[in-house]
Chains A and B, each alone.
Chain A
Amino acid sequence: MGMRKVAVVGAGMTKFMRRAQETGRELAYQATKMALDSCEMTLDDIDSVALGTAPDAFDGVHMKGEYLSDGAGAWNKPYMRCYVGGGTGVFAAIQGWYQVASGLFDTCLVVCEEKMSSCKPHPQGAFLTIFDHTTERALKPNLIWIFALEMNRYMTVHGLEKKDIARVAVKNKRNALDHPCAQVAADITVEDVLNSEVLAWPVQRLDVSPTSDGAASMVLAAEHVAKRITDKPVWIKGVGWSLDTAYWTNRDLYYPKYVESAARMAYDMAGIKEPRKEIHVVEPYDPFDYKELHHLEGLLLCEKGEAPRLTADGVTARDGDMPVCPSGGLLGVGNPIAASGIMKLNEIFWQLRGEAGKRQVPGQPRTGLAQSWGDLMQVGCVVVLGI
């Protein structure tokens, strides 16, 4: 297809926090500076910048792309901003990837930022416009409804109990104890999840990731540049993204077909035939515990309805056969929406380079995957990384 090889050569992120002292642009600067420093590059070495962040109404800042441009290092450079809800982080990385893969630029910074604490009294209010203004908003919905509805459908179709799902929250929050940026790392039990406040059955307090402030960045480079910068480039082997119908009440929510489409596109590009054997470490999008399971199935890493059993058997533990969310995920590290997708890619980058410290999965993984999900529960974005 005439595409150039693209490597991730640097990664950076801020702590993920309930409320940060820094502004959004200050967070964007901190994460981006760390990413450049990590590969001994300066802004002069960067050809273009791809930014991901939530819509203006979310922060009450008009033209948020422009607002964040100084922190993102975008001045006097080709700059673009993208947003696909929770899918934004991995989507922004894909935007950066084709700027380099196409031959247009040799280097690209990918920057994602979110400061959710600005929205009062709770950022849930800013999400209400995702519901159809005429046919749904008159019912006075709240955001949690759609997740609760999807979770119940998934549980019922497969005959699952809450405890089958709660194990994901327990695993990820524990994994996050080893992540220096984690906001809600905790050593909890399945009982704690089952006894936590019921928000919208079956969703309980500890099934849900928090709202967060934070930023995360990565540096992408074409092959000839990457080899000058580092002797440990991590290659973007495949990318995929896909959209399902926005008429979400007209499809069966038990299975994310659009994630499967995105995964198949990425696997084809990466030459992956048997994902379960060839993907060694996985960071699926986990804003809710059931979403990790739902996404593992959509990613074809197990059969439909099988992910809870893999979790119960320890297959997805950090030292398991297929480690899932060794970072601690959104459930443990936190969920500053766009930045959380880059946090996942950074985790795979560190895991494949053997630099994940206490979080390092055993067995010298060579191929990993990060996935994000968003919009009206119908966007899937997948990136396969490899060394």
Chain B
Amino acid sequence: MSAKIESFPGTPLSQADLDAGKVLTTYWKPKLEYGWDAGVAISRYLEELKNGRIIGIKCSRCRRVVVPPRVVCEWCWEPMNDWVYLQDTGTVNTYSICYIRWDASRAKEPQFPAVIWIDGASNAGFLHLLDEVDPDDVKIGMKVQAVWKPAEERAGSITDIEYFKPL
């Protein structure tokens, strides 16, 4: 059918069409606010971050230790309630060097988002940022350690860890 059809529907607009005011557009800028409760497992996780510690949780069936903690092992469907303190060190599982912001505009300084597998967990970890690192030196497999905010500035948030730095 495709071969027989000469012209497909749809009318592309060009920047010139927009500049010339040929398109009527209605704008709306909503102000939405939400407050998300942390829940049972993540509340404990955040409290421990405030204490300067990373805590994970262990499944009674598969023995997996995971972080962030959760109330149920998604693979075994067993309740999880065996809390385990982890190291504040880990391994860079993967990373990126990011030059843009959330709206696709250019960032002034590059950021180093990374997945860090935490020592003491079973091939599990979380998203965070690297710093004190040169773009040429950052590597997958690199050992890193958390850099904590001073105790009085911690608020019970993932940002109580400022970033991870190379060990």
Q: Which residues of chain A have a CB within 8 Å of any CB of chain B?
A: 10-11, 13-22, 27, 30-31, 33-34, 38, 60, 120-122, 124-125, 128, 131-136, 138-145, 148-150, 152-153, 156, 180-181, 183, 198-203, 213-214, 245-247, 249-250, 252-253, 346, 350, 353, 355-360
Q: Which of B3-11, B80-88, B145-153 contacts A (4 or more CB under 8 A)?
A: B3-11
The distance in angstroms between the C-alpha atoms of A199 and B113, with both chains bound, is 13
A20→B13 contact, CB < 8 A:
yes
Q: Which of B126-167 contact A (CB under 8 A)?
A: 126-129, 135, 140, 157-159
The distance in angstroms between the C-alpha atoms of A49 and B6, with both chains bound, is 27
| Closest A residue by C-beta to B129 | A139
What are the interface flags for B4-25 relative to A under an 8 Å C-beta threshold, 1 for contact and 0 otherwise? 1111111111000110000100
Q: Does B42 contact A (CB under 8 A)?
A: yes
B28→A15 contact, CB < 8 A:
no
A247→B74 contact, CB < 8 A:
yes
A142→B98 contact, CB < 8 A:
yes
The interface residues of chain B lying within 8 Å CB-to-CB of A34 are 5, 8-9
Q: Does B40 contact A (CB under 8 A)?
A: no
Q: Does B70 contact A (CB under 8 A)?
A: yes
| Closest B residue by C-beta to A203 | B96
Q: Which residues of chain B have a CB within 8 Å of any CB of chain A?
A: 1-13, 17-18, 23, 27-28, 30, 34, 36, 38, 42, 45-46, 66, 68, 70, 74-75, 93-105, 113-115, 123-129, 135, 140, 157-159
B128→A139 contact, CB < 8 A:
yes
Extra A-B contacts (7), CB below 8 Å, given A250-B125, A353-B1: A18-B13, A124-B104, A132-B68, A135-B127, A152-B94, A201-B96, A253-B115
B124 shortest CB reach to chain A, Å: 4
Can you list 26 A-B pairs, Cβ within 8 angstroms, ordered by A?
A14-B8, A17-B12, A19-B18, A20-B10, A21-B11, A21-B17, A27-B9, A31-B9, A34-B8, A38-B1, A120-B27, A121-B105, A124-B103, A131-B127, A134-B36, A134-B158, A139-B159, A148-B96, A148-B98, A148-B113, A149-B96, A150-B94, A180-B5, A198-B99, A199-B99, A355-B3
Cβ contact of A200, chosen from B10, B100, B140, cutoff 8 A: B100
Cβ contact of A15, chosen from B8, B68, B157, B159, cutoff 8 A: B8
The interface residues of chain A lying within 8 Å CB-to-CB of B123 are 250, 252
A122→B104 contact, CB < 8 A:
yes
B102→A128 contact, CB < 8 A:
yes
The distance in angstroms between the C-alpha atoms of A15 and B7, with both chains bound, is 9
